[in-house]
């Protein structure tokens, strides 16, 4: 068994900044340290978890997914995941591969991503979704004054038509009087 590490030594050994280690502790990605404050010490389990977190991040896994995976593993499981070749999905090589991985589509070579669920064949094809047509509308230009127009989209609801009629009456009164 190795000697316990302080947070600075853990940071140097894993390449993870101290601030990030503290964030992972607060977010429960890492178990609490033994001791508190300057006496806090970290063991090989912390080091291995930080290395696994790094690998999962390189595979573009979100922290919520990483947390769920780490919660299911004890220290021995984390160590095994680090040495097991297929335990962590490799990072995609290109942006195209990454997008296909995120969408759960097969990779270029016809192989599905490791984490993609295979859909079950449907017994009957689903009917195509119906596209609800919006009613056609047209715009009407109403001249209120030689330099002023009102644009109205038709058709209007009855209440809106009553308001428009009232507005036009007011506009007619307003523009018919000469100052």
For residue range 130-147, what is the model confidence (pLDDT) as tens digits? 666 666 778 899 988 888
> Which tokens go with 19?
């601030």
pLDDT at position 169, please?
92
For residue range 11-61, what is the model confidence (pLDDT) as tens digits? 999 999 999 999 998 888 888 888 888 788 888 889 999 998 998 888 888
148-154/138-145 β-pairing = antiparallel
Q: How many CA atoms lie within 13 A of 58 on its CB side?
A: 11
Cβ-count burial 42-73 (b if 16+ within 10 Å, e if not): bbebbbbbbbbbebbeebebeeeebbebbeeb
pLDDT at position 31, please?
86
What is the average per-residue pLDDT within 151-166? Answer: 91
How many degrees, rounded to 5, is the angle at CA 101 between CA 120 and CA 72? 80
CB atoms near residue 107 (< 10 Å): 16
Q: With a cut of 70, say whether residue 174 has pLDDT above it.
A: yes
81-85, 97-101, 138-142, 175-179: segment of lowest average pLDDT: 97-101
Dihedrals phi, psi of 52, to nearest 5 degrees:
-70, -40
């Amino acid at each position: 068994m190795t000697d316990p590490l302080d947070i600075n030594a853990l940071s140097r050994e894993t390449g993870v900044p101290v601030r990030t280690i503290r964030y992972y502790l607060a977010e429960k990605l890492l178990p609490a340290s033994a001791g508190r404050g300057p006496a806090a010490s970290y063991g090989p389990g912390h080091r291995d978890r930080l290395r696994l977190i790094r690998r999962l991040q390189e595979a573009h896994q979100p922290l919520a997914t990483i947390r769920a995976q780490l919660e299911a593993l004890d220290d021995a499981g984390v160590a095994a995941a680090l040495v097991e070749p297929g335990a962590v999905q490799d990072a995609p090589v290109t942006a195209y591969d990454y997008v296909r991985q995120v969408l759960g589509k097969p990779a270029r070579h016809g192989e599905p991503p490791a984490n993609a669920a295979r859909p079950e064949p449907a017994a009957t094809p689903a009917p195509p979704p119906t596209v609800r047509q919006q009613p056609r509308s047209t715009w009407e230009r109403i001249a209120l004054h030689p330099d002023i127009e009102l644009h109205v989209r038709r058709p209007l609801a009855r209440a809106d038509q009553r308001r428009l009629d009232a507005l036009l009456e007011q506009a007619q009164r307003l523009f018919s009087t000469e100052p």
